[in-house]
Structure 1
Amino acid sequence: MPKLSKDDSFIDFSDYGRPVATFLAFHLSRIKITAVEVTIVFLLAGLLCAYCIYINELVWAAVFLMIKNILDAVDGEIARITQHPSLIGRYLDSVFDFIINLLIFSTLFLTGAASNSLLLWAFLGIEFQCSIYNYYYVILRRRLNNEETSRIIEYRKPIAYHYESQKIVNVLHAIFLSFYIIFDLAVLYLDKQALFVRAFPQWFMSLISLLGLGFQLLVICVLLCLGLPEMILPFFAWYSVFGIFVILVRKLFIR
């Protein structure tokens, strides 16, 4: 159940797991598995990935990371299939993504894959890249669908659904904001004019998708399977250059 219509969809290199996620979501929703329960399971898969990296079981680490990536899409699909959106699940999903990324990169550092400075540079880089992708994708969805679920900057406290706890939503929103606002503000500062662009062409959104979390995790999985964990942090430390490149492409060619 895609977020965009068939006519508006684009080749999303970060969303290759969607068919499997949709299949799993359909069957899991029939046995009353909730989106939040799936989100908790993908956290466990991310923890297992980090542990496998630590004990040098790199192929298993890649397997668990890919499971995490697919489950990351399953929870949202379940929420859409059951028409039971969850702010708790939405923020929990993003908070867990941040924690898993930090844990995996820290584990790579602990196993001798990089220096302190490279760890920081790579982690800031991967989060910055995700914010670039999310920024343009949120703008696109708001343009095409008038979607209000996601916002450019999530600074306002959301009102919980009647079946959720407002206190829990407030706590998760505060954590989410502390994790992501610096990256979101940086992207907004670099390309505020994108808010006034009438439409993004499909080729541009496909280019942007190379910065999405799904594509990033695929790169990590490939390098793990090739036995090259020492290449992961340098890759993401430098990959932000590509993020700056796509922002420049937008400014120069899409108005």
Structure 2
Amino acid sequence: MDPLARLDVNPAHVVLFHTVLGVYAAWLIRRGGPWWRSRLTPALLLQVKTVLDNLDGQLARATGRTTETGRYLDTEMDLVVDLSLNVALAGWAGIPLTVLQSLILTTDFLWERDHRTARGEVFRDTAAQSNDHPQVLATLKAVYAAYFSPQEQLLGGWFETRLGASTGDAPTPEERRAYTPLPITAVAANLGLTTQLAFLGLCLLANQPRLYTRSLPVQALVLTGVQLWREGQVRRGKT
């Protein structure tokens, strides 16, 4: 990160670069060909993309260049890569698989947010800069509102409804903390995008790429089981 900071690299350019790497990896998978080109190279590119994806936010924070545009851009470019990869792996079936993957990642986002909020912690720092291009930011916000916001509202509302059903009345701060213990955020975080791409890379190296797409329903079932467990934690606390 230090070399990039010294070179005054724009974090948004890092986002766009690792997006290109991810889309190119998807193109190689879809194109097929020798194992080294259709499996090994994409697997390596995806790990480089992951490193850079984790680096762009660190670079922005270290250089005081966090912006609303950068945050929306990072999230939406990840969606572009996810969609490209799932379509490359499963054809048109990759579209609903991408939605399922987004719901898994949104659950990770919501559980971390709720965990921190229940403990009075800051979830996301305010952007350090406010020099966003109005039209670019408006476009990114519109995309987010059309795709991600409905997922957040649907899942967030459902989680809140399940909490109310577990408490039987308005949840207390203690019950909210019991509903958002660290273990659930750890499980969800381990199903985050870094793990997703690492597992896909392993599937590619094993020449079993479809194993990744088949894992997405299993991941959803794991999160459903965790949800039931945390509801039980709240109910046991009331007895």
TM range (shorter): 0.7 to 0.9
List runs of 5+ in structure 1 lacking aligned partners. 1-24, 111-115, 151-158
Deviations 1:109-132 (A, max 9, x none): 24xxxxx4x434422221110011
Structure with higher RCO (Cα < 8 A, 6+ apart): 1
TM-score by length of 1: 0.77
What is the count of residue pairs matched by the alignment? 217
| 1:146 CA displacement | 2.6
Indicate the residue corresponding to 2:168 in structure 1.
none
Pair 1:233-2:207 in alignment: no
The residue that corresponds to 1:30 in the other structure is: 6
Q: Percent identity?
A: 19
Q: In structure 2, which of residues 21, 28, 32 is the aligned counterpart of residue 45 of structure 1?
A: 21
The corresponding residue for 1:170 is 138
The one-letter amino acid paired with 1:49 is A
Aligned residue identity for 1:238: V
Q: Shift of the alpha carbon at 1:161?
A: 4.2
Q: In the alignment, what sits opposite 1:70?
A: 51
Alignment of 1:5-20 (within 5 A): none
Give 1:138's aligned residue. 113
Classify 1:174/1:149 alpha carbon distance in 2 versus 1 (closer, same or farther; 3 Å): farther
* SS state at 1:214 partner: helix
Distance in 1 between the 2:188 and 2:63 partners?
30
Aligned-residue RMSD, C-alpha: 2.4
Q: Is the 8 A contact 2:116 2:123 kept in 1?
A: yes
Letter in 1 for 2:98: F
Contact 1:50 1:103 (C-alpha < 8 Å) held by counterparts: yes
Letter in 2 for 1:167: Q
Once residues 128 and 122 of structure 2 are traced to their aligned partners in structure 1, the CA distance between those partners, rounded to angstroms, is 20
- 2:151 counterpart (176, 183, 192): 183
Where structure 2 has 5 or more consecutive residues not aligned to the other structure, the ranges are 33-37, 165-170
- In the alignment, is the contact (CA less than 8 A) between 2:69 and 2:140 conserved in 1? yes
* Superposition deviation, residue 72 in structure 1: 1.0
Taking a change above 3 Å as real, the CA distance of residues 201 and 58 of structure 1, as seen in their structure-2 partners, is same
Residue by residue over 1:26-74, the C-alpha shift from the partner in whole angstroms, topping out at 9 and shown as x without a partner, is 2211210121111011111111111221233111111111111111111
CA distance in 1, matches of 2:144, 2:95: 19
**1:58 is matched with which residue?**
39
Distance 2:154 2:201 in 1: 28
Question: Contact 1:122–1:234 at 8 Å: present in 2 too?
Answer: no
**SS of match in other structure, 2:177:** coil
CA distance in 2, matches of 1:139, 1:119: 30
Rounded to whole Å, the distance in 1 between the matches of 2:23 and 2:61 is 26
Cα distance between partner residues in 1 of 2:8 and 2:128: 22
Residues 76 and 144 of structure 1: is their aligned pair in 2 closer, same or farther, counting only changes over 3 Å? Answer: farther
